[in-house]
Chains A and B, each alone.
Chain A
Amino acid sequence: MSLLTLNNIEVVYDRVFLAVKGISIEVPPSGLVALLGANGAGKSTVLKAISGLLRAERGEVSRGNASFAGEDVLALAPPERVRRGLVHVLEGRRVFEHLSPAENLLAATTMHRDRARVARRLDEMFTLFPRLAERANSKAGYLSGGEQQMLAIARALMTEPKLILLDEPSLGLAPFLVDEIFDIVRRINAEAGVAVLLVEQNAVAALDLVQSAYLIEQGRIVMSGSAEMLRANPDIQEAYLAGGKAVDYHAVKHYRRRKRWLA
């Protein structure tokens, strides 16, 4: 049985505007799954539907269901979902700027009563992210972009999740930092068995990392399969992996038109 199952999810913003439709996604326990797609395809909307953050943006799941570890999560409030082990790392980091990194991490432990466990977990995070340990007591707002992204991931991990939703962790980061962060994601997955649902623009890096992926376009899932299979797909190569040769934009358009029939 898979850890997270989305079945035919439809999201409507402001009661009128349809954002995504017919989204069905499965994340196996300890799986590494990517959600790929162009800007505005609806990737972030899917993540927000899973973590329950749509309400703040006047959106709602108008159809379909989502189960996490066998439980329907759509009825739960976002903090409840975190307690079930479902945590979301937002796009653009969103660290608490006026708190120090250590305080940021501690802020994410309200559900734990056991202080020793919290301290242990904090130590683990600082070993996982040595850069954060160096700057544990400065203001989080003064950290660099990469450090803030690490802090955001570490903060999510403090909740001891079963599934972590990562929204564009590579946004605005230098390539070597992206590698570093992806390494960490791989380690978290391998060592702690945390499942990861990764939303990424950087398809090359993402497909290297994950076991399987979904391709989302204009609010609909148009393709899914194992990472190897997607890597081998000529259309994907052409559109997202740049295929080693120059991109022919007429062909891209053509591809999209063709792809819609597939969906």
Chain B
Amino acid sequence: MFYRRAGIRHTSYRSERRLWPLPFDRGLVAAVVVLLLVAPLVVERLYLIGYLMPWIIWSTAALGLNFLMGGAGQIHLGYGAIIAIGAYASTHLARAGVPFEIAALGGGLASAVIGSAFGATALRVKGLYLAMATLAMQSVVDFLITHVPWISGGGQATLTVPPARFLGADLRVDLAAYYVALSVCAVVTLFVLNVGRSSFGRALAAVREKDYAAAVIGVDPFRYKLLAFWVSSFIGGVAGAVLAFCYYRAISPDQFHLDLSIQLVAMVIVGGLGSVLGPFFGAALILFAPILLNQAVGALAAAFGLGISADLRAHLPLVLYGALIMGFLLAEPLGLAKIYDNVRKYFLVWPFRHAPR
């Protein structure tokens, strides 16, 4: 009914090849972009810093991980370490006087080099073994950051991010930081969207589906897996730089532990493996469901004067959170993006019930 067409019809190749072939989708994307652009002027600072900012940054990182996990089918349990490398490399570069624009790219490059070096060793194995290998990478990077004072920033193990400017805008101002994070996210999103339509993206999909079948059509699986590691680690590194400069402003090793890796994997899976929309939904759910549930339980306890203990009061949201994730995955194993897709398809073929094959 919103799409004003029962099914997808095109009259020219040009119209079919567009990024968003349907006018309604184009309108929706434009509306979301406009909303995000005016958000800092409209919403309260709490929502800007407490919600929008982490959502955008985590979505960027999850997009990078999804590129590897959903795009090339390689599981990665050490993505937190990739982000850490980006954050530390860019911070050290900036402390050495390098401007943020270059420091962020340098962070991405450092992540890409180290990430694909680990990827190369890890790629001799597949599936669960790859999971273990990337897990080992997480431990190695954690250990190095914690035990080399030169990296971690001395005995207090906290590295303060120096004042930085992006194209002249002071990143310590929240407004500037928000727009920088948003534009990095937009660039990454557009990149990931377009890779899916390129020969590179199709080669990755071939490697994901059956790597030996890809080999017999002339796609070198090792090379493309490594490229996927490289690109994904680069995105993770840049996300790490944005995280450090725009959001945390002081980094310490425990911000990038396995917890972060697991959180990102959860975002990708709950959001929808291989979907570009998925990381955005997944990041929103994983980041905010605990906070909102916590407030809801607190408000309910206060409203009804329930004398529940602090322990239960703190753990109940976690229980609900777990139930929520399981519920979503049971309702739609392919993730939140697939739920959106189902709804979209329903309206796309409306008023018919089904699309013809």
Q: Is the CB of B345 within 8 A of A219?
A: no
B356 at the interface (CB under 8 A from A): yes
Q: Which of A10-18, A71-79, A90-98, A175-183 interfaces with chain B?
A: A10-18
Q: Is the CB of B354 within 8 A of A16?
A: yes
Q: Is the CB of A18 within 8 A of B357?
A: yes
What are 18 sample pairs from A and B whose C-beta atoms fall under 8 A apart? A12-B354, A14-B342, A14-B345, A15-B342, A15-B345, A15-B346, A16-B342, A16-B346, A16-B349, A16-B354, A17-B355, A17-B357, A18-B353, A18-B354, A18-B355, A18-B356, A19-B357, A40-B357
Smallest distance from the beta carbon of A56 to chain B beta carbons, Å? 11
User: Which residues of B approach A to under 8 Å, CB–CB?
Assistant: 342, 345-346, 349, 353-357
What are the 7 tightest A-B residue pairs by CB atom distance, in nearest-first order?
A18-B354, A16-B345, A16-B355, A15-B342, A17-B355, A12-B354, A17-B357
**Residues from chain A with Cβ under 8 Å of B356 in the complex:** 18
Known: A15-B345, A17-B354; 14 extra A-B contacts, CB below 8 A, are A12-B354, A14-B342, A14-B345, A15-B346, A16-B345, A16-B346, A16-B354, A17-B355, A17-B357, A18-B353, A18-B355, A18-B356, A18-B357, A19-B357
C-alpha spacing A19/B354, complex, angstroms: 9
C-alpha spacing A15/B346, complex, angstroms: 8
C-alpha spacing A15/B341, complex, angstroms: 10
User: Which residues of A approach B to under 8 Å, CB–CB?
Assistant: 12, 14-19, 40, 219
Interface centre among A14, A16, A18, A219 (most CB of B within 10 A): A16
**Residues from chain A with Cβ under 8 Å of B349 in the complex:** 16
**Residues from chain B with Cβ under 8 Å of A17 in the complex:** 354-355, 357
**Residues from chain B with Cβ under 8 Å of A40 in the complex:** 357
C-alpha spacing A219/B357, complex, angstroms: 9
**Residues from chain A with Cβ under 8 Å of B345 in the complex:** 14-16
**Residues from chain B with Cβ under 8 Å of A18 in the complex:** 353-357
**Residues from chain A with Cβ under 8 Å of B342 in the complex:** 14-16
What is the chain B residue whose CB lies nearest that of A19?
Answer: B357
**Residues from chain B with Cβ under 8 Å of A219 in the complex:** 357
What is the chain B residue whose CB lies nearest that of A20?
Answer: B357
**Residues from chain A with Cβ under 8 Å of B355 in the complex:** 16-18
C-alpha spacing A17/B349, complex, angstroms: 10
C-alpha spacing A127/B346, complex, angstroms: 54
What is the chain B residue whose CB lies nearest that of A42?
Answer: B357
C-alpha spacing A223/B355, complex, angstroms: 24
**Residues from chain B with Cβ under 8 Å of A19 in the complex:** 357
C-alpha spacing A214/B356, complex, angstroms: 22
What is the chain A residue whose CB lies nearest that of B349?
Answer: A16
Smallest distance from the beta carbon of A35 to chain B beta carbons, Å? 18
**Residues from chain B with Cβ under 8 Å of A14 in the complex:** 342, 345
C-alpha spacing A145/B306, complex, angstroms: 69
C-alpha spacing A19/B356, complex, angstroms: 8
C-alpha spacing A16/B350, complex, angstroms: 10
**Residues from chain B with Cβ under 8 Å of A12 in the complex:** 354
Smallest distance from the beta carbon of B312 to chain A beta carbons, Å? 38
Interface centre among B342, B349, B356, B357 (most CB of A within 10 A): B357
What is the chain A residue whose CB lies nearest that of B334?
Answer: A58
Smallest distance from the beta carbon of A27 to chain B beta carbons, Å? 26
What is the chain A residue whose CB lies nearest that of B354?
Answer: A18
C-alpha spacing A18/B355, complex, angstroms: 6
**Residues from chain A with Cβ under 8 Å of B353 in the complex:** 18
What is the chain B residue whose CB lies nearest that of A13?
Answer: B357
C-alpha spacing A40/B356, complex, angstroms: 13
**Residues from chain B with Cβ under 8 Å of A15 in the complex:** 342, 345-346
Smallest distance from the beta carbon of A11 to chain B beta carbons, Å? 10
C-alpha spacing A14/B356, complex, angstroms: 12
**Residues from chain A with Cβ under 8 Å of B346 in the complex:** 15-16
What is the chain A residue whose CB lies nearest that of B343?
Answer: A15
C-alpha spacing A37/B342, complex, angstroms: 30
C-alpha spacing A174/B355, complex, angstroms: 39
